[in-house]
Amino acid sequence: MASLARAVSLVENEQPGYETFLQSLPGSSAKITGITGPPGAGKSTITDALVAAMIAQEQKVAVLCVDPSSPFHHGALLGDRIRMNEWYNHPHVFIRSLATRGSLGGLHPRIMEIAEVVKAAGFDQVIIETVGVGQSEIEIASLADTTVVVLVPEAGDEIQTMKAGLMEIADIFVVNKSDRPDADHFVKHLRSMLAPAFHRTSSEIPIIKTIATERTGVDALWEKIQAHQQQAKDKSWLFAERAYHLIRQQRMKDIDKEVLKKAWEASAEKNLYKFVQQFLH
């Protein structure tokens, strides 16, 4: 695990030689499950319970937890908290906290590469838990084989979900804290909101009720994840999405807002569209 941690740090910090290292990685059949949803829905507790279910089936599991960034040192703001401490010394579990570093997609900017590193280390399952920023964390759908959206039975979450676009990316919905009042009503209403989506897909999107603190319903969730992974997304679509993400990163790596700000201040050209052209060639 120590060597894996060093390999992740190599990629995370973009140290010299990391690109060559990535090109040397072998292929892997490991599956990625993305856990996303509004803040406070219980994503970390769901993740912890899923690890238990996977370990019970003798799976090797890597967990990448994406936390908000500190504005001062850009590290994971919550990275020092005790998270899933039951698994830290387990020989078949690897856990790493990562910072968003300002990324608007609820993910670390090198999350795709880091996921490939842990997949190549021989894990069967990789869980990525997004930061929970709400409206901009839908990038997980282009990375995960299965995207799980976690909600809680409060009306505000329905509105937030629709705004965030999470309705479109979910392969499985989890209604966590389902012992709360009106949970059944929430599930019923969620099904009715999803009805138009059902007509566009060959099967209904599963909705699983859980009480993650008691690990109730988590075995059923794990079964649905496995069933979805067997169906699998269109691999060519996933490959194209991942390639697009990497190419965009490479082409934009020398461009940031501070560079643009200084160039704008030094330029006599004040027409925005003419100004932008110099960065497109």
Query: Would you give per-residue pLDDT tens digits along the chain (281 residues)?
Result: 789 999 999 998 889 999 899 999 988 889 999 998 888 888 989 999 999 999 999 999 999 988 754 434 444 444 434 556 778 789 999 998 887 554 444 466 788 889 999 999 999 999 999 876 544 456 777 788 999 999 998 755 555 555 556 677 889 999 999 999 889 988 988 888 776 655 455 578 999 999 999 999 999 999 999 999 988 656 677 778 778 878 887 888 778 788 888 888 998 887 888 888 888 86
Residue 241 lies in a domain: no
Q: Identify the three-state secondary structure at position 247.
A: helix
Within a domain: 47: yes
Domain-located, residue 261:
no
Domain at 111, CATH number: 3.40.50.300
Classify residue 262: in a domain, yes or no: no
Return the biggest CA–CA distance within the chain: 65
Q: Which domain holds residue 155?
A: 2-233
Residue 259 lies in a domain: no
Residue 102 inside a domain? The answer is: yes
Q: Does residue 36 fall inside a structural domain?
A: yes
Q: Over the Cα atoms of the chain, what is R_g?
A: 20
In a domain, 252, yes or no: no
Angle 50-51-54 from CA coordinates, rounded to 5° = 85
Number of domains in the chain: 1
How far out from the chain centre does Cα 118 lie? Answer: 14
Non-local (6+) Cβ contacts of 112 within 8 A are 143, 242, 245, 246
Please indicate, yes or no, whether the overall pTM of this predicted structure exceeds 0.85. no
CA-CA distance, 248 to 19, in Å (whole number)?
A: 15
First to last CA, the chain: 44
